[in-house]
Amino acid sequence: MIKTQSQREQAGAQALRKQIPQPEFMTAMRINCTLIATGDDFAKLLLTLAEAERTAEPAALKVSR
């Protein structure tokens, strides 16, 4: 079955969630979203990541099990 781009991305994200612990997964997704949003503007990417890490709530990265 041919999947749409969105379905492929969702399937890939689900596979990553199973393989990567939650805090690391969230960081990976932030980086992925930042790369998509900024294209190849590396300086803007670094500033965006630095801001995200500075303003991140540590509790938001914890997962209740």
Per residue in 23-43, pLDDT (tens digit) is 666 676 777 666 665 555 666
Distance CA(39)–CA(48), nearest Å, equals: 12
Average pLDDT rounded to a whole number, residues 9-15 = 75
Cβ 44 vs Cβ 37: under 8 Å:
no
Cβ 34 vs Cβ 48: under 8 Å:
yes
Q: What is the mean pLDDT of the chain?
A: 66
State pTM to two decimals. Answer: 0.27
Distance CA(25)–CA(46), nearest Å, equals: 18
pLDDT band at 20 (very low <50, low <70, confident <90, very high): low
Query: What confidence score (pLDDT) does residue 21 get?
Result: 60
